[in-house]
């Protein structure tokens, strides 16, 4: 092997369990997600698993962030390298890190799939890695697993912490990038690291890739979204607001730049779902951050934003648990999240506290107006253990994140 597997691997079992059914199958296993969320380490986990099954297994590893592989620039280079290094008498497991940096990589993958003695795995920091023409070109021969920042339970494991209000506060503030386990959890240290990750994402995955000229606007757009987590916006509304701040930008350019942020996994765009008409609204979306630590490093960690941050955390956890998530629209009313998985639905409202009667009426009242029998839940920071409210579950955030419900 031309690489070394880290000796201390903190395994992310959820992801490992998702990929194991496809190990050895003639499918490309593609791991996508924001930079530094741990995609490379997931490849190492799989390698470690394979070597435990067969210590003589042939592994080929290509890391496009390593200058040692700088000669692999094109699909032909990739194809030639793999075929030169594969075993002639046993299955070879091929791992390619940051494959989007190889020109026309999909051509090589399609060709390598013809070799039944190859098992292919790759990572990418591009949300469109398997979209559109590329997905069609690979003819359904690839599966995608999106890797997210650490969930709260993973955060506890990585930092050797016990669940508590103080620990949840750390998660609120710093988010779940895996490398934080190597740093002192202090704001000056962590935020400096997170700002550098942000700059890498913006400059490498957006500005350089898409030849962005208006860098100032891109940065202003990120700050605008950071200050308005969970608010309903259209590209035109964002454009109008920025114009009021003397930043003159057309709404179609707002849409394009926000697409770039979504494509780099920095921002998650969430569409609205009409619960009456059973359709997706074409305009008006909400935006959440993939990693709240990066958001806080850019915008600051402010007491008035706790409700927004909590909502973002709930959204991220639903994604981690495999749900497809939309914002629910019920006439003039809003349901924070409509989460769907395996033909089932879960309706979720998020509130810092429901101690005031007006808040309780709004959160529970909206859910009671949904005319179906799927589970409904209100998540709050308040600790509560007791009966449901007409079948609607009330749970505290820590219990929700730890799946103690």
CATH code of the domain in which 75 resides = 3.40.50.300
185 and 75 co-located in one domain: no
Within-domain flag for 5: no
140 and 160 co-located in one domain: no
106 and 204 co-located in one domain: no
Partnered with residue 376 across adjacent β-strands are 347
Domain end residue (candidates: 95, 116, 146): 146
Q: Helix (H, G, I), strand (E, B), or coil: what is residue 192?
A: helix
Q: What is the CA radius of gyration of the chain?
A: 22
Q: Which residues of the chain have pLDDT under 70?
A: 1-2, 132-135, 404-405
Within-domain flag for 375: yes
- What does the pLDDT read at residue 131? 73
138 and 211 co-located in one domain: no
Quickly list H helices, 113-206.
Answer: 132-137, 152-158, 165-174, 187-200
- What does the pLDDT read at residue 133? 63
Partnered with residue 344 across adjacent β-strands are 341
The continuous run of DSSP H or E covering 324 comes out as strand 324-330
Q: Helix (H, G, I), strand (E, B), or coil: what is residue 405?
A: coil
20 and 132 co-located in one domain: yes
Which class for 255: exposed (0-12), middle (13-18), buried (19 or more C-beta within 10 A)? middle
For 51, what's the count of Cα atoms within 13 Å in the CB-facing half-sphere? 12
77 and 188 co-located in one domain: no
Q: What's the DSSP call for residue 329?
A: E
Measured in degrees and rounded to the nearest 5, phi and psi for residue 121 equal -135, 140
Into how many domains does the chain fold?
2
- The answer to whether the beta carbons of residues 234 and 285 sit under 8 Å apart is yes
Q: Is 140 left (phi over 0), alpha (psi -120 to 50) or beta?
A: left
Within-domain flag for 232: yes
Within-domain flag for 6: no
Enter the pTM of the model: 0.95
Alpha-carbon distance of 213 to 253, in angstroms, equals 12
- What does the pLDDT read at residue 1? 63
Alpha-carbon distance of 389 to 4, in angstroms, equals 54
- What does the pLDDT read at residue 134? 65
CA angle 280, 397, 361 (to 5 degrees): 65
Q: Helix (H, G, I), strand (E, B), or coil: what is residue 161?
A: coil
Q: How many CB atoms lie within 10 A of CB 62?
A: 22
Q: How many CB atoms lie within 10 A of CB 152?
A: 22
For 393, what's the count of Cα atoms within 13 Å in the CB-facing half-sphere? 16
137 and 162 co-located in one domain: no
What is the rounded average pLDDT for all residues in the chain?
93
Domain end residue (candidates: 146, 175, 191): 146
Alpha-carbon distance of 127 to 173, in angstroms, equals 26
251 and 361 co-located in one domain: yes
Domain that holds residue 397: 152-401
Within-domain flag for 44: yes
177 and 271 co-located in one domain: yes
123 and 181 co-located in one domain: no
Within-domain flag for 1: no
- What does the pLDDT read at residue 359? 84
CA angle 274, 322, 287 (to 5 degrees): 50
334 and 367 co-located in one domain: yes
Domain end residue (candidates: 146, 177, 200): 146
């Amino acid at each position: 092997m031309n690489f070394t597997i880290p000796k201390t691997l903190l395994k992310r079992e959820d992801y490992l369990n998702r990929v194991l059914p496809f190990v050895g199958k003639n499918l490309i296993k593609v791991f996508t997600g924001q930079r530094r969320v741990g995609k490379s380490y997931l490849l190492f986990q799989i390698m470690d698993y394979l070597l435990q099954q067969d210590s003589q297994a042939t592994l080929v590893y290509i890391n496009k962030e390593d200058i040692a592989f700088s000669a692999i620039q094109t699909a032909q280079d990739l194809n030639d390298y793999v075929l030169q290094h594969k075993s002639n008498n046993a299955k070879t497991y091929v791992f390619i890190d940051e494959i989007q940096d190889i020109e026309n990589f999909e051509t090589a993958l399609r060709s390598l799939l013809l070799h039944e003695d190859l098992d292919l795995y790759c990572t990418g920091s591009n949300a469109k890695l398997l979209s559109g023409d590329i997905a069609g070109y690979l003819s359904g021969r690839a599966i995608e697993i999106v890797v997210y920042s650490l969930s709260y339970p993973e955060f506890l494991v990585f930092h050797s912490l016990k669940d508590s209000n103080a620990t949840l506060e750390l998660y609120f503030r710093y988010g779940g990038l895996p490398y934080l386990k190597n740093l002192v959890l202090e704001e000056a240290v962590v935020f400096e690291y997170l700002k550098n990750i942000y700059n890498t994402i913006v400059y490498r995955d957006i500005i350089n890739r898409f030849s962005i000229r208006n860098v100032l606007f891109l940065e202003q757009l990120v700050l605008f979204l950071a200050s308005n987590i969970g608010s309903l916006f259209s590209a035109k509304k964002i454009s109008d607001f920025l114009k009021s701040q003397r930043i003159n930008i057309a709404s179609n350019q707002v849409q394009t730049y926000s697409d770039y942020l979504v494509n780099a996994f920095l921002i998650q765009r969430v569409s609205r779902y009409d619960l009456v008409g059973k359709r997706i609204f074409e305009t008006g979306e909400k935006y959440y951050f993939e990693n709240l630590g990066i958001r806080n490093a850019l915008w600051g960690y402010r007491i008035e934003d706790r409700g927004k941050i909590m909502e973002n955390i709930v959204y991220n956890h639903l994604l981690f648990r495999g749900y497809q998530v939309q914002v629910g629209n019920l006439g003039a009313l809003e349901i924070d999240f409509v989460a769907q998985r395996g033909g089932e639905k879960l309706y979720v409202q998020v509130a810092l506290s429901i101690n005031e009667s007006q808040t309780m009426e709004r959160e529970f009242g909206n859910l009671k107006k949904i005319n179906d029998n799927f589970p409904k839940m209100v998540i709050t920071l308040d600790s509560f253990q007791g009966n449901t409210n007409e079948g609607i579950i009330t749970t505290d955030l820590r219990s929700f994140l730890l799946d103690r419900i």
